[in-house]
A and B are shown apart, each in its own frame.
Chain A
């Protein structure tokens, strides 16, 4: 740590001294006026002296400037969205300049790829280049929440809204394996780093590499796609300051709505009487629920309102400074954010906070030093400090309790001050205490998680153009440490159960359900260390229209888990290491034809000697029609029309266990000597893991066909890709080995699974200026479908019960044919074997036609819980200073079966709740005998026939939401320059304001089957950005 600090100080000093050298020897004053091509004055144009950073002037309201410079200097005039002009001074004292508007030339657009920045037109692989601005439009702490619907090729969903955990999981082109490791490789400034805590304002470029040719160079870990992020760096010129402050008000997108206490009681009684059982509550008790005249025994509490706030507040602030000179440039940023949780707090608890909360401080410093004219040293130091606070009850406990604790189950607290709780009898042998939500949220202490990350990057670039033009050497070293400290301050008051009846003297009989626990503090820590080394040789040259390029790259990375080692596990301390050699050869001719060949040759220590190295080749070709003479001459409107194809192999070595090729042993007590029924058991050793020596890389073979196009001066642009990939050798346990092998528990792993997935992704945009109005309409879509080809599973007479032939994570269940109409209907239908049925119970389809409904009639239904389709579309309008931005995002091909004590009414007796949705929508004798009612006949304490996955409970997880709506106003330059600002924008942004979905009980994006999850939020944000 000390070393890092001292290196930092030295570097800062260097940057500062480079800065201060510049203001010597000014002796003449130059004045002038800067205008645009129409002669209008330009206000706030930066006028600097070349190679003398930090020293400069700015034009005033009339476009006039004055600056003192040495003779024979060069003046640089730069202004946003105008071409920069340079004027070499001789003797003149007045320099008037006309700046021309910069034009986006499709040929000049650049994309960051695996081997550096590349012109977009020359890219042959499937690459999504993301507009970083669109990623900033999220009111949460994580950039991952902006991926869905913004980035073609990414399938993402957010499953929780808990501050600090409210990040999205995402997959590039969906899931293509059922094995371990389906997540993409994320590289920040070239090294594997997390996407969650990066400060979105620091991102310069965000690129997603999707196909084999783009990712082969990462051979080992590219199978699931790669996300490349480069952070901002300083540019030569005057010091620039950007700042942003914003605050959001967040409220849940959708909250489950439950029946009121009185309806609940009546339905509870009906659940008993409709099945010929005695009602739970007699008339007097029902009356007491209704009139509230015994609020201890017969409460009616709205737990959601009791425990949750209506909304929460979050704040973000960001500040960055950049600038520098020819020899040194810097970018320094700091950002802070704070997200509040939605739990209420107990006024009496003042010593600590129980509400959920997340705050984070990010910092980054990127410094580039030109050591010589051909040598560049870039240093980056960044880090984050995160603090997450949570109530003593875990999030899953709280949300289970909050949803299942119905209004009539217990009071919060008895009048004698004892806290109320309940005990749930799940079945005969399974009784569990449940704490009431208020106690979970406010009375159980708190948990604090503290995360600390430091990332250091050192880049060294040596240009060898003096050896031969286009030759370059690059070395990169990275060192990251992460540490997490978890400190649980747990306490629990004594909790009391009670009889729902009063004793003769009016008192309530209570018993201690759970004993008091005084606050106890448990701390644990986790940590990791990553080290990287990369060396690259680049060669890039164009001879007469022949563009030739080559890259050779060596990588070495190490990962060490430095967590508190409570199991005394030796294996934990062993570094995970990879090394590899990768290369790329590119050839292009006149921007028309391109051929790429890539390879990765990678080693992983997770495999046995001889199986460690894998060779992953890929090639791609592209043809840009637009550069063909017949198009160029006859069809000028087409600037780019590139057809691409790529083919290649990439690998994966992520396995759920380490060193599968080694056996390990454990103690066992079960060796019996002697005859059956004799008890002569002895201790011994048995296999913990049986070695699979042949195990090696999972290999994904990918094909991709795509087109990139741009028409009419960038008015219509787009990219469309079709992909098809097959993952072979997926690791899985050989669970169906014959018993004669002698292995029962610790069956070995093998490269035996196979999955094929295909789909398409793409985006199109329309961009046009109508007078003063700039209009952009854009849309993108990602669709991916997979099918298991090989899976180690038991033989089945019915194909549909097997995994093979179906999607990974395919939903399965019975097929419902509505509810039984009457007893005749039951008699005339196949026999259902799950339990007694009555009219109003779910009737299932006999799939195999054997006259019996049983588990052999369970078939694949719907799709998967994780969506297979993600799309987004939006429109932006800009008029003078005003900008309006609308973005919709949707997901499709997702389905799930509702389940649990909230979805299934009275599953666990009085533990659980009933949705408002069920009122009037359930089958009720003589009241609502609709065979297509939304809920079946009520049943108390579960119902084996009704309460199981089937199409009856299946719901569509698809949704469309107004992800962002933003209105911003940039103040006119005229006003700003008076205040010495170069830019100031105020904006109001709404996220997730509207959600359209056929499923309305909870937010379908969460993918929850029970709804028992911290909800996602919609928010309104007000913010301000300004630049100096």
Chain B
């Protein structure tokens, strides 16, 4: 039996020869701190020029590798410090920096004691490139919750889903930047008019459209005192029926807090008011574009014999096609985007234009100026830039005109900016019909979660920016800022 002990011992020795599974934790971020016994040295930074969010590298030594112990400011504004390897600091040019920035770096010890403080002789010069920015986004990434509530920007206010933006021209003249939006949280029939006040940085509720089944659009009359509200009432499909209101109005004097019947007519989708006051609107019935004849002198009008300009169902060959109308600021013509009613099935991938006859006050037959009317099921991957009908859009949603300083003196000084909801981009159509992606769909593929073209990335328009389902779009002429909704956020494009 003694020999058995030998066996047991041999087994034990061999077993102990093994090792444990433990090692250092590769998932932990390890940092070292600046050595307080050595001097922190600064030699240079580069580049010397760039836009907001440009990566700036500061060279020197003894920085430590804990970025929380390094403070960089550009003219007093904190620049986010991304990382340091001890000899190079990587930080980002901060938003809100001046045109010429003093670059100052402080390095702290592990205990927070200041070991180095240095101001570079060279300045960082701000570059001028338009970029996509995000103004307001309140999304809980953990729960996916997206609150839809009025309030100050910094106090919970948010309007996560907007299909429509409209600047208030009167307040804008007064120096206050306000746009209106209709809350529409992905298909829920609960509409309110909200005012997004960019000056006061708050969102207020203007009025709840409890008497209106659904609405997509509001618009100001020339002068801006009256707000017209397009109304859908579901069943008044007959052109010429006058038993239900298809348009309401609200008055500035009442702060738009009440609304009244404006016109009795067939179900209205979208309207436009020409500079001379003529109103055209699109209907659900058969996609007809109708001129509101405003008979009589008392409100509401009873438009029992409206003038049908043309029928978009016939033009496009699509059933339940109805148009969104965008009058050119000069009033010479109206651009139209077609909605087939089923957002997820796609919209007509084409842009129409019809000339306005100011004498007969009638819209002439539409012509296709960009995209193809057959391509209404273009997939995001098949989207194509091009001139006129060579371009392929995916899912045009909303649009606005934007003045292009390069066109000064030309007959038409405006580009037409369109959101492409499932194409995940913003298009620019020149007066000549050249269609180019203006922003979005960058190659930045860190955002695989969104698929190949979407994402949520700010930055240079084509090089970095990505967006998910851009919808509402509006241009603020005064500051040359293009606002749009995407990623449940209010985002904008500007040169900082």
> Which residues of A pack against B, CB within 8 Å?
241, 243, 245-247, 272, 277-282, 284, 287-288, 291-297, 306-307, 309, 313, 315, 317, 319, 340, 343-348, 353, 355, 412-413, 415, 422-425, 428, 431, 438, 494, 496-507, 509-513, 909-911, 980-981, 1022, 1024, 1026, 1028
A residues near B286, Cβ cutoff 8 Å: none
Tell me which of B33-41, B157-165, B180-188, B447-455 binds A.
B447-455
Q: Once the chains are docked, how many angstroms separate the CA of A521 from the CA of B456?
A: 37
Tell me the nearest residue of chain A to B93, going by C-beta. A504
A-B contact pairs, 7 of them (CB 8 A): A293-B83, A313-B17, A315-B18, A345-B22, A412-B26, A505-B80, A512-B142
Question: A315's contact among B6, B14, B141, by CB below 8 Å, is which?
Answer: B14
In the complex the two chains form, is A294's CB within 8 Å of B82's CB?
A: yes
Q: Assuming A284-B54, A428-B379, A438-B26, what are 9 further A-B pairs, CB within 8 angstroms? A: A246-B14, A291-B88, A296-B82, A296-B83, A309-B23, A346-B25, A498-B446, A501-B458, A509-B456
Asked if B457 lies at the interface with its beta carbon under 8 angstroms from chain A, I say yes
In the complex the two chains form, is B92's CB within 8 Å of A506's CB?
A: yes
Q: Shortest Cβ distance from B101 into chain A, in angstroms? A: 15
In the complex the two chains form, is B3's CB within 8 Å of A500's CB?
A: no
Q: Which interface residue of B82, B85, B466 has the most chain A CB atoms within 10 A?
A: B82
Tell me the nearest residue of chain A to B53, going by C-beta. A504
In the complex the two chains form, is A502's CB within 8 Å of B90's CB?
A: no
In the complex the two chains form, is B464's CB within 8 Å of A425's CB?
A: no
In the complex the two chains form, is A313's CB within 8 Å of B457's CB?
A: no
Say yes or no: A501-B444 contact (C-beta < 8 A), given A345-B22, A506-B81. yes
In the complex the two chains form, is B451's CB within 8 Å of A502's CB?
A: no
Asked if B175 lies at the interface with its beta carbon under 8 angstroms from chain A, I say no
Q: Once the chains are docked, how many angstroms separate the CA of A343 from the CA of B95?
A: 45
Say yes or no: A497-B448 contact (C-beta < 8 A), given A348-B25, A415-B29. yes
Q: Once the chains are docked, how many angstroms separate the CA of A412 from the CA of B24?
A: 14
In the complex the two chains form, is A245's CB within 8 Å of B7's CB?
A: yes
In the complex the two chains form, is A499's CB within 8 Å of B448's CB?
A: no
In the complex the two chains form, is A347's CB within 8 Å of B446's CB?
A: no
Q: Once the chains are docked, how many angstroms separate the CA of A909 from the CA of B449?
A: 13
Tell me the nearest residue of chain B to A496, going by C-beta. B141
Asked if B11 lies at the interface with its beta carbon under 8 angstroms from chain A, I say yes
Q: Once the chains are docked, how many angstroms separate the CA of A353 from the CA of B20?
A: 11
Q: Shortest Cβ distance from A124 into chain B, in angstroms? A: 45
Q: Once the chains are docked, how many angstroms separate the CA of A288 from the CA of B11?
A: 53
A residues near B313, Cβ cutoff 8 Å: none
In the complex the two chains form, is B447's CB within 8 Å of A910's CB?
A: no
In the complex the two chains form, is A428's CB within 8 Å of B381's CB?
A: yes
Give the interface SS of chain A, mostly helix, strand, loop or mixed: mixed
In the complex the two chains form, is B80's CB within 8 Å of A506's CB?
A: yes
In the complex the two chains form, is A340's CB within 8 Å of B18's CB?
A: yes
Asked if B52 lies at the interface with its beta carbon under 8 angstroms from chain A, I say yes
Say yes or no: A980-B3 contact (C-beta < 8 A), given A247-B15, A306-B26, A345-B21. yes
B residues near A291, Cβ cutoff 8 Å: 57, 85, 88, 90
In the complex the two chains form, is B85's CB within 8 Å of A292's CB?
A: yes
Q: Once the chains are docked, how many angstroms separate the CA of A494 from the CA of B448?
A: 17
In the complex the two chains form, is B11's CB within 8 Å of A317's CB?
A: yes
Q: Which of B15-68 contact A (CB under 8 A)?
A: 15, 17-19, 21-29, 52-55, 57
Q: Which of B78-100 contact A (CB under 8 A)?
A: 80-85, 88, 90-92, 94-95
Q: Once the chains are docked, how many angstroms separate the CA of A1022 from the CA of B459?
A: 62
In the complex the two chains form, is A500's CB within 8 Å of B141's CB?
A: no
B residues near A288, Cβ cutoff 8 Å: 55, 90
In the complex the two chains form, is A243's CB within 8 Å of B83's CB?
A: no
Q: Once the chains are docked, how many angstroms separate the CA of A504 from the CA of B95?
A: 6
A residues near B463, Cβ cutoff 8 Å: 282
In the complex the two chains form, is A500's CB within 8 Å of B446's CB?
A: yes
In the complex the two chains form, is A247's CB within 8 Å of B18's CB?
A: yes
Q: Once the chains are docked, how many angstroms separate the CA of A909 from the CA of B19?
A: 40
Asked if B104 lies at the interface with its beta carbon under 8 angstroms from chain A, I say no
Q: Once the chains are docked, how many angstroms separate the CA of A423 from the CA of B446?
A: 9
Say yes or no: A504-B443 contact (C-beta < 8 A), given A293-B84, A347-B25, A425-B448. no
A residues near B443, Cβ cutoff 8 Å: 272, 277-281
Q: Categorize the interface residue count of chain B.
A: 35 or more
B residues near A294, Cβ cutoff 8 Å: 55, 82-83, 90
B residues near A1022, Cβ cutoff 8 Å: 14
Q: Shortest Cβ distance from A428 into chain B, in angstroms? A: 7
Asked if B408 lies at the interface with its beta carbon under 8 angstroms from chain A, I say no
In the complex the two chains form, is A910's CB within 8 Å of B27's CB?
A: no
Asked if B345 lies at the interface with its beta carbon under 8 angstroms from chain A, I say no
Question: B94's contact among A295, A500, A504, by CB below 8 Å, is which?
Answer: A504
In the complex the two chains form, is A293's CB within 8 Å of B88's CB?
A: yes
Asked if B194 lies at the interface with its beta carbon under 8 angstroms from chain A, I say no
Q: Shortest Cβ distance from B41 into chain A, in angstroms? A: 18
B residues near A246, Cβ cutoff 8 Å: 14
Say yes or no: A245-B14 contact (C-beta < 8 A), given A293-B88, A425-B452. yes
Tell me the nearest residue of chain B to A317, going by C-beta. B11
Q: Shortest Cβ distance from B50 into chain A, in angstroms? A: 9
Asked if B144 lies at the interface with its beta carbon under 8 angstroms from chain A, I say yes
B residues near A296, Cβ cutoff 8 Å: 82-83
B residues near A293, Cβ cutoff 8 Å: 57, 82-85, 88, 90
In the complex the two chains form, is B11's CB within 8 Å of A346's CB?
A: no
Asked if B133 lies at the interface with its beta carbon under 8 angstroms from chain A, I say yes
Q: Once the chains are docked, how many angstroms separate the CA of A272 from the CA of B53?
A: 25
Asked if B445 lies at the interface with its beta carbon under 8 angstroms from chain A, I say yes
Asked if B134 lies at the interface with its beta carbon under 8 angstroms from chain A, I say yes
Asked if B10 lies at the interface with its beta carbon under 8 angstroms from chain A, I say yes
A residues near B52, Cβ cutoff 8 Å: 504
B residues near A347, Cβ cutoff 8 Å: 22-25
Q: Shortest Cβ distance from A297 into chain B, in angstroms? A: 7
In the complex the two chains form, is B11's CB within 8 Å of A245's CB?
A: yes
B residues near A292, Cβ cutoff 8 Å: 83, 85
Tell me the nearest residue of chain A to B57, going by C-beta. A293
Q: Which of B226-242 contact A (CB under 8 A)?
A: none
Q: Once the chains are docked, how many angstroms separate the CA of A306 from the CA of B53?
A: 32
Tell me the nearest residue of chain A to B7, going by C-beta. A243
Question: A280's contact among B24, B27, B133, B445, by CB below 8 Å, is which?
Answer: B445
B residues near A1028, Cβ cutoff 8 Å: 3
Question: B457's contact among A245, A281, A315, A500, by CB below 8 Å, is which?
Answer: A500
Question: A981's contact among B3, B141, B144, B444, by CB below 8 Å, is which?
Answer: B3
Q: Once the chains are docked, how many angstroms separate the CA of A315 from the CA of B19?
A: 12
B residues near A424, Cβ cutoff 8 Å: 448
Q: Which of B438-490 contact A (CB under 8 A)?
A: 443-449, 451-452, 455-459, 463-464, 466
Q: Which 5 A-B pairs have the closest CB atoms?
A: A506-B80, A500-B446, A293-B90, A313-B18, A497-B449
Q: Once the chains are docked, how many angstroms separate the CA of A505 from the CA of B464?
A: 16
Q: Once the chains are docked, how many angstroms separate the CA of A464 from the CA of B483?
A: 104
Q: Which interface residue of A241, A243, A510 has the most chain B CB atoms within 10 A?
A: A243
A residues near B17, Cβ cutoff 8 Å: 247, 313
Q: Shortest Cβ distance from A514 into chain B, in angstroms? A: 10
Q: Which interface residue of B14, B22, B449 has the most chain A CB atoms within 10 A?
A: B449
In the complex the two chains form, is A504's CB within 8 Å of B23's CB?
A: no
A residues near B29, Cβ cutoff 8 Å: 413, 415
Say yes or no: A297-B458 contact (C-beta < 8 A), given A315-B14, A504-B95. no
In the complex the two chains form, is A313's CB within 8 Å of B19's CB?
A: yes
Q: Once the chains are docked, how many angstroms separate the CA of A428 from the CA of B380?
A: 9
Q: Shortest Cβ distance from B1 into chain A, in angstroms? A: 10
0 or 1 for each of B111-151: is its CB under 8 Å from A? (1 = yes): 00000000000000000000001100000011010000000
Tell me the nearest residue of chain B to A980, going by C-beta. B3
A residues near B55, Cβ cutoff 8 Å: 284, 287-288, 294
In the complex the two chains form, is B7's CB within 8 Å of A412's CB?
A: no
Tell me the nearest residue of chain A to B131, going by C-beta. A504
A residues near B88, Cβ cutoff 8 Å: 291, 293
In the complex the two chains form, is A502's CB within 8 Å of B92's CB?
A: yes
Q: Once the chains are docked, how many angstroms separate the CA of A943 from the CA of B26?
A: 36
Q: Once the chains are docked, how many angstroms separate the CA of A297 from the CA of B80?
A: 14
A residues near B133, Cβ cutoff 8 Å: 504
A residues near B83, Cβ cutoff 8 Å: 292-296
